[in-house]
Amino acid sequence: MSKEKDDNYWRERLTEEEFHVCRKAGTERPFTGEYWDTFEDGKYRCRCCGEILFSAESKFDAGCGWPSFDALAEEGVVDERVDTSLGMQRTEILCSNCGCHLGHVFPDGPTATGLRYCVNSLSVKHDPDDASD
């Protein structure tokens, strides 16, 4: 799937909230998303294109109110870019396959990777049937 799909393409396939977060880099309120406190086995796929981005094995409770992961499902599934919105510098994460805004990655994770991929629930879909590695 191409990153070149236009807004009309995505508006037809996503809810208004999903479109705002996934295609316009919005953010859902903390502690409100579907997956912030879900810890079932499986994979987390991009809501827009279905690419596997994270494994439930890498998910942890960061106390921030958004799903948090310490590693990607595999190298290269996420692109990073500098985000200077809101008067600060952060690292935005996007699906490398379709450009869906996922959230941000921070170097303050509590595990050995030292990373915290802070993801909007609206940007991903949990796939409990894909629990194999």
98 belongs to an annotated ligand binding site: yes
Q: Write the CB contacts of 64 (distance below 8 Å, at least 6 apart in sequence).
A: 30, 116, 118
Tokens of 3: 């990153």
Does residue 71 contact residue 62 with C-beta atoms inside 8 Å? no
100 annotated binding-site participant: no
Question: Are 123 and 100 spatial neighbours (Cβ–Cβ below 8 Å)?
Answer: yes
Q: Is 22 annotated as a binding residue?
A: no
Asked if 100 is an active-site residue, the reply is no
Q: With DSSP H G I counted as helix, E B as strand and the rest as coil, what are the percentages for the chain, rounded to 5? A: 20, 30, 55
* Tens of pLDDT, residues 45-74: 999 999 999 999 999 999 999 999 999 999
**Active-site residue, from 22, 48, 100, 118:** 118
CATH fold group of domain 7-127 = 2.170.150
- Residue 42: pLDDT band by 50, 70, 90 thresholds? very high
pLDDT tens for each residue of 91-133: 999 999 999 999 999 999 999 999 999 999 999 999 998 665 4
Where along the chain do its domains lie? 7-127
Which backbone phi and psi does 49 adopt, to 5 degrees?
A: -120, -10
